[in-house]
Amino acid sequence: MASPGGAVGPPSPAVNGFRRLWQDLHDIGRSRDTGGYNRFAWTREDHDLREWFTAQCQQRGLDVTTDRMGNQWAWWGDPDAAVAAGDPGVVIGSHLDSVPDGGAFDGPLGVVGALAAIDHLRATGFTPTRPIGAVNFVDEEGARFGVACAGSRVITGVLGADRARGLTDRDGTSMAEAMRAAGRDPGTLGRDDETLARIGTFVELHVEQGRRLVDLGHAVGVGSDIWPHGRWRVDLPGEANHAGTTRLEDREDAMLGLAAMIIAARRAATQHGCVATVGKVNVVPGGVNAIASGATGWLDARGADADAVRRVVADVGAVVADFDGLVTQESWTPTTMFDPALAQQMAARLGGVPVIGTGAGHDAGILANDGIRTAMLFVRNPTGVSHSPDEWASADDCVAGVLALADVVSDLAGADAVRGDATDEQAEGPAA
């Protein structure tokens, strides 16, 4: 493939580096049946991913540390010296965990992209005047313990240590127990001011979870904001009884309340211009021939307007109350604005790429709400599908994202822009 100037040059370091790193992750936690990924916090798959990240960073001579939650940080340069000088570092990265049967790109694109961008900067002779960090946040999806962005929420204090330790998975294993089994001390959990002080600017590269860039005809875009969003646990009571011998008029079936709640969520979201999803349920006792004595559903609600999202939850709550149920908020994140000046600076540097909002939550949003100068880069997703094995981005677009990230970092870390040429080898990047 010709470069923008028409000449064919040697392979960009971003191309080769990205391809090799991406292939390393291909089989970890992947289902042979669906092709989707199951990479949950503090599991064997998570351990393998963390070991991979550590090894890759050490191969690059980066200093690897973990914070009070277990998030992994790797530094090119001395972050503490930079803090002492009043000029903290530039951090890039994302997460490696997934939703159940998730796609390959959500999270890993940002981690692999961070390492590939560092490779590219080094290969082109870049020397930073500020330290550059790469991060792998733990438990961003919240797939195991139910709270999204747990890694960043804990170190910013949004998720309290006691509550985090007490969160449980489907099997009743607490986060504290899971961390101990993984060789970590849950007693260290808590806000981590030392780690946060090292972050002068954070930029997260991520696959777009939608089709806005497709509609706009751009491979890369800059994030403007994250919609307000939250998760609520909805518990519906019932009475266990025999499915074959109990008359309908004598039943206290928790599933009826659950069904009504799900329908109410869809109706309320439509009415108030939001989106609402019940994607996880738990039924007790869970037998085909047993009437449910209890049912729990988790409601995810999001929208451009926070009051509208709250109205959705209130409408659902009114229906749940008719079934003597209980709605408990598990997380809430208000509208998150990324640094507007930084977004415009990045968009201009990248040749006027679009600035777009998103309805998906990210660790970048948690850091932004803590007052850290934060931005996001999005890579085009041809189908808009995410949280699914069908999630995808082309190799060309992924490399374009890496080069954009490298360009932005070279600017933020105090040197001239560094950009690379695309080549035919891009086609050998991530598989569909």
List Cα–Cα distances, 169 to 144, 148, 149, 176, 324, in angstroms: 5, 13, 16, 11, 25
Amino acid at site 382 = P
pLDDT of residue 292: 98
Cis peptide before 285 (omega within 30 of 0): yes
What is the per-residue pLDDT for 17?
Answer: 79
223 closest CA partner among 88, 137, 339: 339
The distance between the two most distant Cα atoms of the chain, rounded to a whole number of Å, is 78
Model pLDDT for residues 217-272, shown as the tens digit of each residue: 999 999 999 999 899 999 999 999 999 999 999 999 999 999 999 999 999 999 99
Identify whether the C-beta of residue 364 lies closer than 8 Å to the C-beta of residue 358.
no
Extract the tokens encoding 10: 């040697």
CA geometry: angle 86, 89, 95, nearest 5 deg: 145
Measure the N-to-C terminal CA separation of the chain; round to a whole number of Å: 20
What pLDDT score was predicted for residue 14?
63
From the number of C-beta atoms within 10 Å of its C-beta (0-12, 13-18, 19+), residue 400 rates as buried
Phi and psi dihedrals of 94, rounded to 5?
-165, -125
Label residue 353 exposed, middle or buried (CB < 10 Å: 0-12, 13-18, 19+).
buried
Radius of gyration, alpha carbons of the chain: 23
Alpha carbon separation from 246 to 241, 255, 391 (Å, rounded): 7, 15, 45
CA distance 205 to 91: 11
In angstroms, rounded to a whole number, what is the distance separating the alpha carbons of residues 242 and 287? 10
What pLDDT is stored for residue 175 in this prediction?
A: 98
Q: What pTM does this model have?
A: 0.82
pLDDT in tens, 72-115: 999 999 999 999 999 999 999 999 999 999 999 999 999 999 99
* Amino acid 415: pLDDT: 54
Per the rule left: phi > 0, alpha: psi between -120 and 50, beta: everything else, 384 is left
Residues of the chain with pLDDT under 50: 1-10, 416-432
